[in-house]
Amino acid sequence: VQLQASGGGLVQPGGSLRLSCAASGSIFSINHMGWSRQAPGKQREFVAYITRDGETNYTDSVKGRFTISRDNAKNTVYLQMNTLKPEDTAVYYCNANVRSGGKNWYQNYWGQGTLVTVSS
């Protein structure tokens, strides 16, 4: 199973970006999917997750600005980021809790990360 994240880049404060993360490989089903981020010199932190049924949860600092969604048919999770701030600058990592074909348990997988830089 592989997760491929995309959509990062340079954006001015107040701008928007949409991140995507597609899971591929031998996938039987995906439970929750989510995003974390790691700013320079800091530990990785949780940003948002979404369950298979669409329930969501966000860290307080992004509530009202970020929206997580998913397309179960495409095994893809999205993160719409609006009103971006310089403190949102980080490498964003996606993760998915996946049951692979032939297995009876779920395993967490991580994408390679995509850099988001918010600067004027």
| pLDDT tens digits, 28-64 | 999 999 999 999 999 999 999 999 999 999 999 999 9
Rounded Cα distance, 103 and 39, in Å: 35
pLDDT surpassing 90 at residue 76: yes
Q: How far is the C-alpha of 1 from the C-alpha of 20, rounded, in Å?
A: 16
CA distance 9 to 64: 21
What's the confidence (pLDDT) of residue 101? 81
Encode 107-120 in three state secondary structure.
EEEECCCEEEEECC
